[in-house]
Amino acid sequence: MSRTPHILIVEDDREIATLVSRFLRSHDFRVRTVPHGREMDIALRDGRFDLIVLDLMLPGEDGLSLCRRLRNDGSIPIIMLTAKGEDIDRILGLEMGADDYLVKPFNPRELLARIRAVLRRVGVAQTLDSAESTMLAFAGWRLDKAVRRLFNPQGERVALTGAELDLLLAFCERPRRVLSRDQLLDLTQGRAAAPFERSIDVLVSRLRQKMEPNPREPELIQTIRSGGYMFSPEIQSLPQGGSAQTEAQPQVMDG
């Protein structure tokens, strides 16, 4: 039996918090609302949440700082709310680790669609067929698709946000192919959410910081001029109880 998703809304505007919480509850979500970071911390200690809707402008510690703290502590999906429509604010939110963003004023149905999209991306990877290989290996790294965890060549877990992991999976499933930003947006976010194209560059930069020995001279995720990006390592499939099997490599195609 599936569990009802639990959403935490961090929003100091009582009217918005009430409107959003009622709307989400009417669509079968469990919801808790808090007005600032201190109560967010208490809520996270008290219960388990599947996603956080986090306002940028909050009293006390602001949303960007809270987002950074949440990312340091775990990988719970985050959707950022902001009254600012400037690109720099969106980029900052993504760089701090937000999985998506929404500019105020917004239609609650759009927020619902984005919440469902983020939860779907997380949930799909957790319901793989048992016969399917769930472990991928490349350049000494291991990516466990079933539990959505990445391990470096030293065997240490490397924390990734949901959006970062979605992008890495898209690369690993299409190695040595040139993928345009539009293709990567479709593969990781879908067009229904009208994502911000610059977000792919931000996510690639974040992955490089976590995975490349020298992010300024990347070896794993290569930039292809006028094309997009290409994931260069050979990918191996590691089925449970089996030996490594090299994935068939598709031909390089234009982005």
Is 255 domain-assigned? no
The domain containing residue 98 runs over which residues?
Answer: 6-124
94 and 173 share one domain: no
89 and 193 share one domain: no
Residue % of the chain over a pLDDT of 90? 40
- Can you name the residues that pair with 144 across neighbouring β-strands? 135, 149
Return the closest-CA partner of residue 237 out of 229, 227, 248, 226. 248
Is 130 domain-assigned? no
CATH code where residue 216 lies: 1.10.10.10
108 and 162 share one domain: no
73 and 114 share one domain: yes
106 and 202 share one domain: no
- Judged against a pLDDT cut of 90, whether residue 51 lies above it is answered with yes
- Judged against a pLDDT cut of 60, whether residue 169 lies above it is answered with yes
**According to the model, what pLDDT value does residue 61 have?**
93
49 and 156 share one domain: no
How many domains does one find in the chain?
A: 2
110 and 145 share one domain: no
- What residue spans of the chain are helical by DSSP H? 14-25, 37-46, 63-73, 87-95, 108-124, 162-172, 181-188, 198-211
93 and 186 share one domain: no
**pLDDT tens-digit map of 119-159:** 887 763 333 333 345 789 999 999 988 778 899 999 999 99
CATH code where residue 35 lies: 3.40.50.2300
- Judged against a pLDDT cut of 50, whether residue 194 lies above it is answered with no
112 and 183 share one domain: no
Boundary residue ending a domain (60, 92, 124): 124
Boundary residue ending a domain (65, 91, 124): 124
Is 1 domain-assigned? no
60 and 32 share one domain: yes
Is 17 domain-assigned? yes
Is 165 domain-assigned? yes
91 and 195 share one domain: no
Rounded mean pLDDT of 78-84?
85
Is 217 domain-assigned? yes
Boundary residue ending a domain (89, 124, 159): 124
- Judged against a pLDDT cut of 50, whether residue 7 lies above it is answered with yes
Beta-carbon count within 10 A of 105 CB:
7
What CA–CA distance (Å, rounded) separates 54 from 62? 10
Is 117 domain-assigned? yes
Length of the chain measured in residues: 255
Is 251 domain-assigned? no
141 and 113 share one domain: no
**pLDDT tens-digit map of 100-117:** 888 888 888 889 988 988
Q: Which residues are CB-neighbours of 72 under 8 A, at least 6 positions away?
A: none
